[in-house]
Amino acid sequence: MRHVKIIVFGATGMIGQAVLAQCLGDQRIDSVLVVGRTSVGRQDDKLREILRDDFFDFADCADDFAGADACFFCLGVSSVGMSERDYYHQTYELTLSAATALAAAHPNATFCYVTGEGTDSSERGKRMWARVKGKTENALLALPLDAYMFRPGFIRPRPGARSKTRWYRLAYAILNPLYPVLSKLAPTHMTTSENVAHAMLAVADVGYEKRVLENWDINKLGSADRARSAS
């Protein structure tokens, strides 16, 4: 991979923190632009932030997006307690606002979108979140972008990282100590935030034969990229 400019959405979230850390530490990456509502709270020569409240109109970011080679979109909300209309607004409409702006500014840029295991590509299933995520995936794949959908299962966060969602924090507090056992019992459903980060960098580097990456694809790519960076 030539030195590239990466955009990261959701860099203060559990996955986004790992993605940002890996990007800043990777010699293949020349610069990282974080788009968020709050600062990531760190300084780095590679890092620049755009802090904003409006995530539904990125017309003013055209110049910033034009120079980007890849976007790692880790921004998302839990569907718990939300109506389908509100979840659709915060998931489909918000994501497509950013993606369409990037497609207009830099067609065929790489776009890595974190969805989740069980996402419904048919858009007709019983689970609301899976339908909305599936619709979002399908719309992204139809844009003039080099788009890849990441569908992790259970994600072990990097040390010190915390989810902003209360019930996620409770679940991770219970399941994290069991990760070594669970990863042996159900390896195709378990991953780490570092694996997701490395897999995104691998896709931005050399692409992948599939546009929709399930958990095992993420682990495969993540492990290979981790080995590369350690050599």
The larger pLDDT score, comparing residue 166 to residue 118, is at: 118
State residue 158's pLDDT score: 54
Binned at pLDDT 50, 70 and 90, residue 230 comes out as: confident
Quote the number of domains for the chain. Answer: 1
Closest CA to 151 of 222, 61, 52, 218: 218
How high is the pLDDT of residue 141?
98
Q: In this predicted structure, which of 76-80, 109-113, 125-129, 214-218 has the lowest mean pLDDT? A: 76-80
Residues 16-51: tens digit of each pLDDT: 999 999 999 999 999 999 999 999 999 999 999 999
What pLDDT is stored for residue 167 in this prediction? Answer: 47
Buried b / exposed e over 26-54, threshold 16 CB at 10 Å, is: bebbebbbbbbeeebeeeeeebebeeeee
| Average pLDDT in the chain | 89
Q: What is the CATH number of the domain that holds 141?
A: 3.40.50.720
Q: Which domain holds residue 93?
A: 4-230
The C-alpha atoms of residue 74 and residue 49 are separated, in whole angstroms, by: 15
The predicted pLDDT at position 14 comes to 87
Given this model, what pLDDT does residue 184 score? Answer: 61
pLDDT at 185 over 80: no
Nearest CA to 141 out of 133, 152, 130 is that of 133
The pairing of strands 146-150 and 110-114 is parallel
More confident residue, 141 or 67: 141
Q: What is the pLDDT of residue 170?
A: 58
